[in-house]
Amino acid sequence: MRAVLFDRYGDPDVLTEAELPAPEPGPGRISVDVTHAGVNFAEVMFRRGQIPVGLPHVPGLEVTGTVRAVGEGVTGLRPGQRVAALTLDGGGYAEVVLARADLTVVLEGPRAIADPALAAAFPCNVPVALGLLESAARLLPGESVLVLAAAGGVGTAAAQLARRAGASLVLGAVSTATKAEYAAGFGYDEVVRYEALAELVADRTGGRGVDVVLDSVGGEQRAAAAGLLAPLGRQLIFGDAAQQDAPVQPDHLWFGSRALVGYNIGDLAHRAPALVRGHLERAAELVAAGDVRVDFTEFALADAAEAHRILTDRSSTGKLVLRVNG
Protein backbone atom coordinates (compact mmCIF):
# COMPACT_ATOMS: atom_id res chain seq x y z
CA MET A 1 0.00 0.00 0.00
CA ARG A 2 1.03 3.61 -0.51
CA ALA A 3 1.84 5.63 2.61
CA VAL A 4 3.61 8.78 3.77
CA LEU A 5 6.00 8.39 6.70
CA PHE A 6 9.02 9.88 8.43
CA ASP A 7 12.01 7.87 9.62
CA ARG A 8 13.76 10.75 11.38
CA TYR A 9 12.60 13.91 13.13
CA GLY A 10 12.80 17.22 11.35
CA ASP A 11 11.10 19.74 9.10
CA PRO A 12 8.25 18.82 6.72
CA ASP A 13 10.69 17.48 4.13
CA VAL A 14 11.28 14.36 6.27
CA LEU A 15 7.82 13.20 5.14
CA THR A 16 8.34 10.78 2.24
CA GLU A 17 6.20 8.35 0.27
CA ALA A 18 6.77 4.61 0.73
CA GLU A 19 5.25 1.26 -0.15
CA LEU A 20 4.30 -0.77 2.91
CA PRO A 21 2.40 -4.02 3.51
CA ALA A 22 -1.26 -3.51 4.36
CA PRO A 23 -1.90 -4.18 8.07
CA GLU A 24 -4.29 -6.89 9.28
CA PRO A 25 -6.61 -6.21 12.22
CA GLY A 26 -6.20 -8.01 15.52
CA PRO A 27 -8.81 -8.41 18.28
CA GLY A 28 -11.00 -5.37 18.74
CA ARG A 29 -9.58 -3.70 15.64
CA ILE A 30 -10.69 -3.11 12.08
CA SER A 31 -8.81 -2.17 8.94
CA VAL A 32 -10.06 0.71 6.81
CA ASP A 33 -9.55 1.42 3.11
CA VAL A 34 -8.82 5.12 3.51
CA THR A 35 -10.27 7.75 1.19
CA HIS A 36 -9.26 10.82 3.22
CA ALA A 37 -7.18 11.58 6.32
CA GLY A 38 -7.25 14.66 8.51
CA VAL A 39 -4.09 16.62 9.28
CA ASN A 40 -3.54 17.78 12.86
CA PHE A 41 -0.98 19.92 14.64
CA ALA A 42 -0.22 16.99 16.95
CA GLU A 43 1.23 15.24 13.89
CA VAL A 44 3.54 18.23 13.38
CA MET A 45 4.66 17.81 16.99
CA PHE A 46 5.33 14.10 16.38
CA ARG A 47 7.26 14.85 13.20
CA ARG A 48 9.59 17.36 14.78
CA GLY A 49 10.22 15.14 17.82
CA GLN A 50 8.41 17.38 20.27
CA ILE A 51 6.42 14.28 21.27
CA PRO A 52 8.62 11.25 20.55
CA VAL A 53 7.13 8.36 18.56
CA GLY A 54 8.63 5.13 17.31
CA LEU A 55 10.44 5.43 13.98
CA PRO A 56 9.59 5.00 11.20
CA HIS A 57 6.16 6.50 11.81
CA VAL A 58 3.14 6.92 9.55
CA PRO A 59 1.23 9.95 10.88
CA GLY A 60 -2.52 10.35 10.77
CA LEU A 61 -4.90 10.50 13.73
CA GLU A 62 -8.25 10.46 11.89
CA VAL A 63 -9.60 8.97 8.68
CA THR A 64 -12.67 8.16 6.70
CA GLY A 65 -13.17 5.30 4.27
CA THR A 66 -14.75 1.86 4.16
CA VAL A 67 -14.26 -1.11 6.44
CA ARG A 68 -11.82 -3.53 4.81
CA ALA A 69 -11.73 -6.30 7.44
CA VAL A 70 -12.73 -6.84 11.08
CA GLY A 71 -10.75 -8.50 13.82
CA GLU A 72 -11.83 -11.02 16.42
CA GLY A 73 -14.54 -9.85 18.77
CA VAL A 74 -15.67 -6.89 16.67
CA THR A 75 -19.43 -6.47 16.44
CA GLY A 76 -21.57 -3.88 14.66
CA LEU A 77 -19.04 -3.31 11.89
CA ARG A 78 -18.70 -5.19 8.61
CA PRO A 79 -16.66 -4.89 5.41
CA GLY A 80 -17.92 -2.25 3.02
CA GLN A 81 -19.47 0.10 5.58
CA ARG A 82 -18.54 3.78 5.33
CA VAL A 83 -16.92 4.88 8.56
CA ALA A 84 -14.99 7.65 10.24
CA ALA A 85 -12.41 6.68 12.82
CA LEU A 86 -9.92 8.04 15.30
CA THR A 87 -6.55 6.40 14.58
CA LEU A 88 -4.74 7.76 17.61
CA ASP A 89 -1.78 5.40 17.25
CA GLY A 90 -1.15 6.96 13.83
CA GLY A 91 -1.23 5.39 10.40
CA GLY A 92 -3.84 7.57 8.68
CA TYR A 93 -1.54 8.84 5.91
CA ALA A 94 -1.85 5.49 4.12
CA GLU A 95 -4.20 3.57 1.87
CA VAL A 96 -5.03 1.12 4.68
CA VAL A 97 -5.04 1.84 8.41
CA LEU A 98 -5.95 0.00 11.60
CA ALA A 99 -8.52 1.51 13.95
CA ARG A 100 -10.07 0.53 17.23
CA ALA A 101 -13.65 -0.61 16.73
CA ASP A 102 -14.78 1.43 19.74
CA LEU A 103 -13.34 4.63 18.19
CA THR A 104 -15.07 4.09 14.84
CA VAL A 105 -18.51 5.40 13.84
CA VAL A 106 -20.61 4.22 10.92
CA LEU A 107 -21.67 7.08 8.66
CA GLU A 108 -25.32 6.09 8.42
CA GLY A 109 -28.61 7.46 9.70
CA PRO A 110 -28.16 10.59 11.84
CA ARG A 111 -24.38 10.30 11.31
CA ALA A 112 -24.51 10.14 7.52
CA ILE A 113 -21.91 12.57 6.14
CA ALA A 114 -21.88 12.33 2.35
CA ASP A 115 -18.69 14.28 1.64
CA PRO A 116 -15.72 11.99 2.43
CA ALA A 117 -13.35 14.93 2.92
CA LEU A 118 -15.72 16.43 5.49
CA ALA A 119 -16.01 13.04 7.17
CA ALA A 120 -12.22 13.05 7.65
CA ALA A 121 -12.18 16.65 8.87
CA PHE A 122 -14.23 16.22 12.05
CA PRO A 123 -13.14 13.14 14.11
CA CYS A 124 -10.36 14.89 16.04
CA ASN A 125 -11.29 18.56 16.15
CA VAL A 126 -15.01 18.48 16.92
CA PRO A 127 -14.80 15.78 19.65
CA VAL A 128 -11.85 17.65 21.18
CA ALA A 129 -13.85 20.88 21.22
CA LEU A 130 -16.76 19.03 22.85
CA GLY A 131 -14.47 17.44 25.42
CA LEU A 132 -12.77 20.72 26.24
CA LEU A 133 -15.96 22.66 26.82
CA GLU A 134 -18.18 20.01 28.39
CA SER A 135 -15.92 17.58 30.24
CA ALA A 136 -12.83 19.64 31.06
CA ALA A 137 -14.08 23.23 31.40
CA ARG A 138 -17.60 22.16 32.43
CA LEU A 139 -18.88 25.31 30.79
CA LEU A 140 -22.07 26.71 32.31
CA PRO A 141 -24.72 28.78 30.52
CA GLY A 142 -23.89 32.47 30.82
CA GLU A 143 -20.13 31.97 31.15
CA SER A 144 -17.56 33.56 28.84
CA VAL A 145 -15.03 31.77 26.64
CA LEU A 146 -11.75 32.89 25.04
CA VAL A 147 -10.22 30.74 22.29
CA LEU A 148 -6.58 31.10 21.30
CA ALA A 149 -5.81 29.95 17.74
CA ALA A 150 -9.41 30.90 17.01
CA ALA A 151 -9.19 30.26 13.26
CA GLY A 152 -8.03 26.64 13.50
CA GLY A 153 -10.00 23.43 13.33
CA VAL A 154 -10.64 23.16 17.08
CA GLY A 155 -11.13 26.89 17.48
CA THR A 156 -13.81 27.24 14.81
CA ALA A 157 -15.68 24.22 16.21
CA ALA A 158 -15.33 25.44 19.80
CA ALA A 159 -16.84 28.84 19.01
CA GLN A 160 -19.96 27.22 17.56
CA LEU A 161 -20.26 24.71 20.40
CA ALA A 162 -19.76 27.34 23.10
CA ARG A 163 -22.56 29.37 21.56
CA ARG A 164 -24.84 26.28 21.48
CA ALA A 165 -23.99 25.62 25.15
CA GLY A 166 -25.24 29.07 26.15
CA ALA A 167 -22.00 31.01 26.55
CA SER A 168 -22.74 34.69 27.03
CA LEU A 169 -19.53 35.85 25.35
CA VAL A 170 -17.20 34.04 22.91
CA LEU A 171 -13.94 35.81 22.07
CA GLY A 172 -11.09 34.69 19.84
CA ALA A 173 -7.45 35.58 19.32
CA VAL A 174 -5.28 34.96 16.26
CA SER A 175 -1.95 36.01 14.79
CA THR A 176 -3.10 37.95 11.71
CA ALA A 177 -5.90 40.23 10.56
CA THR A 178 -6.73 37.76 7.77
CA LYS A 179 -7.29 35.00 10.31
CA ALA A 180 -9.40 37.32 12.46
CA GLU A 181 -11.67 38.07 9.52
CA TYR A 182 -11.96 34.35 8.70
CA ALA A 183 -12.70 33.25 12.28
CA ALA A 184 -15.40 35.88 12.74
CA GLY A 185 -17.72 33.78 10.59
CA PHE A 186 -17.89 30.94 13.13
CA GLY A 187 -19.92 32.48 15.94
CA TYR A 188 -17.42 34.62 17.82
CA ASP A 189 -18.56 37.90 19.28
CA GLU A 190 -15.19 39.38 18.37
CA VAL A 191 -11.79 38.16 17.18
CA VAL A 192 -8.60 40.19 17.45
CA ARG A 193 -4.85 39.78 17.05
CA TYR A 194 -2.97 38.71 20.15
CA GLU A 195 -1.52 42.15 20.82
CA ALA A 196 -5.04 43.58 21.22
CA LEU A 197 -6.37 40.75 23.38
CA ALA A 198 -5.87 42.18 26.88
CA GLU A 199 -7.69 45.36 25.93
CA LEU A 200 -10.52 43.40 24.32
CA VAL A 201 -11.08 41.17 27.35
CA ALA A 202 -11.01 44.10 29.74
CA ASP A 203 -13.50 46.01 27.61
CA ARG A 204 -15.92 43.14 26.93
CA THR A 205 -15.94 41.78 30.51
CA GLY A 206 -15.78 45.06 32.43
CA GLY A 207 -12.37 44.06 33.77
CA ARG A 208 -13.64 40.80 35.30
CA GLY A 209 -11.91 38.47 32.86
CA VAL A 210 -13.14 35.37 31.06
CA ASP A 211 -14.34 32.16 32.68
CA VAL A 212 -12.71 29.73 30.24
CA VAL A 213 -9.61 29.95 28.05
CA LEU A 214 -8.88 27.29 25.41
CA ASP A 215 -5.13 27.27 24.80
CA SER A 216 -3.25 25.12 22.30
CA VAL A 217 -0.68 27.83 21.58
CA GLY A 218 1.64 27.97 24.59
CA GLY A 219 4.56 30.33 25.00
CA GLU A 220 3.99 34.00 25.73
CA GLN A 221 0.31 33.76 24.76
CA ARG A 222 -0.24 31.11 27.44
CA ALA A 223 1.29 33.32 30.10
CA ALA A 224 -0.69 36.35 28.92
CA ALA A 225 -3.99 34.46 28.84
CA ALA A 226 -3.52 33.29 32.43
CA GLY A 227 -3.79 36.91 33.50
CA LEU A 228 -7.13 37.30 31.70
CA LEU A 229 -9.04 34.74 33.78
CA ALA A 230 -12.04 35.71 35.88
CA PRO A 231 -12.26 34.54 39.52
CA LEU A 232 -12.43 30.72 39.44
CA GLY A 233 -11.60 30.81 35.74
CA ARG A 234 -10.21 27.74 33.97
CA GLN A 235 -7.38 27.72 31.44
CA LEU A 236 -7.47 24.54 29.37
CA ILE A 237 -4.16 23.38 27.90
CA PHE A 238 -4.37 21.01 24.92
CA GLY A 239 -1.25 21.73 22.88
CA ASP A 240 2.01 23.65 22.65
CA ALA A 241 2.37 25.03 19.14
CA ALA A 242 4.98 27.55 20.30
CA GLN A 243 7.31 24.82 21.65
CA GLN A 244 7.81 26.97 24.75
CA ASP A 245 6.61 24.88 27.67
CA ALA A 246 7.17 26.43 31.09
CA PRO A 247 7.10 25.03 34.64
CA VAL A 248 3.78 25.34 36.45
CA GLN A 249 3.88 27.22 39.74
CA PRO A 250 0.94 25.87 41.77
CA ASP A 251 1.00 28.73 44.26
CA HIS A 252 0.07 31.11 41.45
CA LEU A 253 -3.11 29.10 40.88
CA TRP A 254 -4.48 29.26 44.37
CA PHE A 255 -3.23 32.81 44.94
CA GLY A 256 -5.29 33.88 41.93
CA SER A 257 -8.29 31.55 42.41
CA ARG A 258 -7.90 29.97 39.00
CA ALA A 259 -7.40 26.51 37.53
CA LEU A 260 -5.11 25.00 34.92
CA VAL A 261 -6.63 21.92 33.25
CA GLY A 262 -5.03 19.58 30.70
CA TYR A 263 -6.87 17.76 27.93
CA ASN A 264 -5.36 15.02 25.76
CA ILE A 265 -7.70 12.94 23.60
CA GLY A 266 -5.01 10.26 23.17
CA ASP A 267 -4.74 9.75 26.92
CA LEU A 268 -8.52 9.72 27.33
CA ALA A 269 -8.94 7.18 24.54
CA HIS A 270 -7.00 4.72 26.71
CA ARG A 271 -8.29 5.70 30.15
CA ALA A 272 -11.83 6.90 29.39
CA PRO A 273 -12.71 5.40 25.99
CA ALA A 274 -16.47 5.58 26.51
CA LEU A 275 -16.21 9.33 27.03
CA VAL A 276 -14.26 9.79 23.79
CA ARG A 277 -16.64 7.55 21.85
CA GLY A 278 -19.59 9.55 23.11
CA HIS A 279 -17.98 12.77 21.93
CA LEU A 280 -17.15 11.18 18.55
CA GLU A 281 -20.74 10.00 18.03
CA ARG A 282 -22.22 13.37 18.97
CA ALA A 283 -19.70 15.19 16.79
CA ALA A 284 -20.72 13.08 13.79
CA GLU A 285 -24.37 13.90 14.40
CA LEU A 286 -23.73 17.63 14.78
CA VAL A 287 -21.69 17.76 11.58
CA ALA A 288 -24.15 15.59 9.63
CA ALA A 289 -27.03 17.84 10.69
CA GLY A 290 -25.13 20.99 9.76
CA ASP A 291 -25.22 22.23 13.35
CA VAL A 292 -21.42 22.53 13.41
CA ARG A 293 -19.72 23.79 10.26
CA VAL A 294 -16.29 22.41 9.44
CA ASP A 295 -14.33 24.32 6.82
CA PHE A 296 -11.48 22.40 5.18
CA THR A 297 -8.78 22.58 2.52
CA GLU A 298 -7.91 19.40 0.63
CA PHE A 299 -4.44 18.23 -0.43
CA ALA A 300 -3.26 15.13 -2.26
CA LEU A 301 -1.48 12.54 -0.10
CA ALA A 302 1.74 13.29 -2.01
CA ASP A 303 1.48 16.89 -0.76
CA ALA A 304 1.45 15.97 2.94
CA ALA A 305 4.72 17.87 3.48
CA GLU A 306 3.13 21.04 2.09
CA ALA A 307 0.15 20.63 4.41
CA HIS A 308 2.56 20.30 7.34
CA ARG A 309 4.47 23.36 6.16
CA ILE A 310 1.30 25.44 6.15
CA LEU A 311 0.39 24.23 9.65
CA THR A 312 3.89 24.87 10.95
CA ASP A 313 4.07 28.46 9.73
CA ARG A 314 0.57 29.06 11.12
CA SER A 315 -0.81 30.36 7.84
CA SER A 316 -3.67 27.82 7.74
CA THR A 317 -7.30 28.39 8.60
CA GLY A 318 -9.89 25.73 9.33
CA LYS A 319 -8.98 22.10 8.75
CA LEU A 320 -6.50 20.46 6.37
CA VAL A 321 -7.36 17.10 4.81
CA LEU A 322 -5.37 14.66 2.65
CA ARG A 323 -7.01 12.87 -0.27
CA VAL A 324 -5.63 9.32 -0.13
CA ASN A 325 -7.96 7.54 -2.57
CA GLY A 326 -10.99 8.75 -4.44
Residue range 84-101, pLDDT digits in tens: 999 999 999 999 999 999
In a domain, 285, yes or no: no
| pLDDT the model gives residue 254 | 87
In a domain, 283, yes or no: no
| pLDDT the model gives residue 12 | 97
**132-141, 200-209, 234-243: least confidently modelled range:** 234-243
The pLDDT of residue 256 is above 80: yes
Rounded-to-integer distance, Cα 192 and Cα 175, Å: 8
Please check whether residues 256 and 305 belong to one and the same domain: no
In a domain, 9, yes or no: yes
Q: Determine the average pLDDT of the residues in 278-283.
A: 98
Rounded-to-integer distance, Cα 95 and Cα 65, Å: 9
DSSP characters for 185-202? GGT-SEEEEGGGHHHHHH
In a domain, 275, yes or no: no
In a domain, 287, yes or no: no
Please check whether residues 115 and 206 belong to one and the same domain: no
pTM over 0.85: yes
Q: What CATH number has the domain bearing residue 233?
A: 3.40.50.720
Please check whether residues 230 and 134 belong to one and the same domain: yes
In a domain, 166, yes or no: yes
Please check whether residues 193 and 252 belong to one and the same domain: yes
Question: Containing H/E element for 275?
Answer: helix 273-288
Select from 247, 264, 281 the last residue of a domain.
Answer: 264
Q: What CATH number has the domain bearing residue 65?
A: 3.90.180.10
Q: Determine the average pLDDT of the residues in 14-32.
A: 98
Strand spans (E) along the chain: 2-5, 16-19, 29-39, 62-70, 82-86, 96-100, 104-106, 144-148, 169-174, 190-193, 210-215, 229-237, 258-262, 296-300, 319-323
Please check whether residues 191 and 244 belong to one and the same domain: yes
Please check whether residues 168 and 214 belong to one and the same domain: yes
- Give how many domains the chain has, as a whole number: 2
Phi, psi of 150 (to 5 degrees): -65, -20
Please check whether residues 136 and 117 belong to one and the same domain: no
Comparing 324 with 252, which gets the higher pLDDT? 324
Please check whether residues 59 and 186 belong to one and the same domain: no
Please check whether residues 98 and 36 belong to one and the same domain: yes
Please check whether residues 8 and 93 belong to one and the same domain: yes
**139-143, 179-183, 207-211, 253-257: least confidently modelled range:** 253-257
Confidence band of 58 (pLDDT split at 50, 70, 90): very high
Please check whether residues 137 and 110 belong to one and the same domain: no
CB 235, CB 256: distance < 8 Å: no
Confidence band of 312 (pLDDT split at 50, 70, 90): confident
Select from 243, 264, 285 the last residue of a domain.
Answer: 264
In a domain, 286, yes or no: no
Please check whether residues 60 and 165 belong to one and the same domain: no
Domain range spanning residue 88? 2-122+294-323
Cis peptide leading into 56, omega within 30 of 0? yes
The pLDDT of residue 238 is above 90: yes
CB 113, CB 288: distance < 8 Å: yes
In a domain, 13, yes or no: yes
